[in-house]
Amino acid sequence: MGKLYEFNLEKEKKTLFVRASGFFKEEDTKLYFSEFQTIVNTINPSIYKLIVDASELEAVEPFLIDDTKFVLNLYTNARFKKLVIINSTCPVSKTQIDNCAKEINFKCVFATSVKEAYRL
C-alpha cells in the first residue's frame, strides 16, 4: 500500500496543503513527522496557511492518540499564520481529533471542505 498522506507546498498561495487518508499505523506517523518537518524547514511558516485535509482519515488505534496530539502540537509549534483542518467524514476519527484538540488546547479553524478551507 502507498503513502497515506501527501504534501503540496503552494508557494504562490502561501499554503502548505496536506492530505491524510486511511488508517495510520505507528510507522506511518513517524515518516509523516519527518517529512512534515523537512518541508516546514524550507519555508517561513508565519506567512503560510496550513490546511490539513483529514476528510478521508480513519480512526486511529487508541495507543496512537498520543501521536495525534503530537502532530497537533507540531502544527502549533511551527507557528503557521493560520491552521485549518478539514473534518473527517468518519465520525470516530472526527471525535478523536476534536477530543485531542480540546485536550491540548489546539487553536485552529475546522472546515467541512477543501473549498471552505481555502476561503478561510
Is the backbone of residue 22 left (phi > 0), alpha (psi -120 to 50) or beta? left
pLDDT, position 13: 97
* CB 29, CB 42: distance < 8 Å: no
- Return the pLDDT at 60: 80
Its pTM stands at 0.93
Q: Give average pLDDT by consecutive 10-residue segment, the chain, 120 residues.
A: 87 97 85 93 97 92 86 94 96 94 95 96
Rounded CA separation 67/57 (Å): 14
The answer to whether 87 touches 110, Cβ cutoff 8 Å, is yes
Percent helix, strand, coil in the chain (nearest 5)? Answer: 50, 25, 25
If phi over 0 gives left and psi between -120 and 50 gives alpha, with beta otherwise, what is residue 69?
alpha
Residue 67: predicted pLDDT: 86
